[in-house]
A = this chain, B = another copy of it.
Amino acid sequence: MSDTSPSASPTRSTGRPTIRDVSRLAGVSFKTVSRVINDQQYVSAEKRERVLAIMAEIGFQPSQAARALAGHRSHQIALICDNPNPWYVYEVQAGVRERCGRDNVRMIAQPYDRATPALLDAIVALIDQAHPDGLVLAPPACDDARVIAELERRRIPFVRLQPGGPIDGVPATSIDNDQAAFDMTSHLLALGHMRIGFVVGDRSYASSDQRLSGHLRALEQAGIGPDPDLVRQGMFDFASGKAAADAMLDLPHPPTAIFAASDDIAAGVLVAAHRRGIAVPAMLSVAGFDDAPLAQVVWPPLTTIRQPVRNLAIAAADLLLAPGDTVERRLDHSLIVRESTAPPPAA
């Protein structure tokens, strides 16, 4: 209000310091400051220090808009995560963000509703408006052929998080879903279960089929043939888990264990059992998949497969920010045995 004196500020029109303010205070040319910001050569250690000190002192941050416009990089990457599971979204965002922080790159992320009808349009608009330097595609978008085609057409770098099959030249991070399911079914078999129900996840996620196949492979290896009654379609969520469990528990010869393709499904199975007064694990063993916080919150705590979601996201961002020869990075899962699985009741 009162700073009408003409000599108040030297050059600035806005309140923010610019690269030229820094250069003036550091006694170097603004070009040198630009070199420091972009980690380029031809700057002596001494001047670099000085510039860095001034920047910290006055709290200078280069304008992203200006850098994006002038340079050919926006220093942003976009995370596409159209997943209805809040925990999954949270972990993926946290992982990508953590890795971005190390490179001083910004992550732009926004949740997309499950099966956003215009996901492709949203992505295209995002790319054209925000000019991300690359994208991380989480499931199920990572397996959307139209999305992939559009990104390849535009030659925008991207990586895939937990995709279905590999795509030539597109880096990806994943766990071995098939093997993980195999491990869990083997655990149940080792406990003595012969009739094991399986609730399949949403078929639009590639991992659903992978997990089913691992389960069936373990059964086959134990000499147990597939039983259509014991494989039920679910949607990764609680409601479908409860419905699937209800159907299987109504069978004349019900399973003694149910392996659910997600912890949410497993929670539905647990509630179905509780409603019928079936004790878990004494009368029915229940196993999940994910090791979400939910697994330790339900009763009894779930035996499940731990997926290192956050580390998968970190690795995915790493493949994008520091591309190398690696095309696929596979992380380990682990079997977490808690209290929801036990030997079957003595018939």
Contact = CB atoms under 8 A, between A and B. Distances in A.
Question: Which of A63, A91, A97 is the most central at the interface, judged by chain B CB atoms within 10 Å of its CB?
Answer: A63
The DSSP consensus for interface residues of chain A is helix
A24 interface: no
A345 to B, nearest CB: 20
A218 B99 CA distance: 48
Interface in A277-333: 293-294, 296-301
A297 B63 contact: no
Contact of A131 (B65, B107, B296): B65
A182 interface: no
Interface in A188-219: none
Contacts of A61: 124-125, 128-129
Given A125-B61, A131-B65, A297-B238, A90 B94 contact: no
Interface string A230-273: 00000000100000000000000000000000001001101100
B64 A16 contact: no
Question: Which of A62, A264, A299, A301 is the most central at the interface, judged by chain B CB atoms within 10 Å of its CB?
Answer: A299
Interface stretch (A27-35, A108-116, A135-143, A169-177): A108-116
Interface stretch (A46-54, A66-74, A159-167): A66-74
Tallying the copies of this chain within the complex gives 2
A109 B79 CA distance: 11
A64 B297 contact: no
B294 A297 contact: yes
Contacts of A131: 63-65
Interface string A65-97: 110110000100000000000110111011001
A274 interface: yes
Given A59-B128, A129-B63, A293-B238, A93 B106 contact: no
A298 B270 CA distance: 9
A267 B94 CA distance: 25
A335 interface: no
A130 interface: yes
A131 B268 CA distance: 45
A173 B287 CA distance: 41
A135 to B, nearest CB: 15
Contacts of A271: 297, 299, 301
B130 A64 contact: yes
A67 to B, nearest CB: 8
Interface in A118-154: 124-125, 128-131, 154
Contacts of A86: 86-87, 89-91, 293
Interface of A: 15-16, 59-66, 68-69, 74, 86-87, 89-91, 93-94, 97, 106-111, 113, 124-125, 128-131, 154, 238, 264, 267-268, 270-271, 274, 293-294, 296-301
Which are the 10 A-B pairs with shortest beta-carbon distances? A61-B128, A86-B90, A65-B68, A86-B86, A65-B69, A65-B65, A86-B87, A267-B297, A274-B299, A64-B129
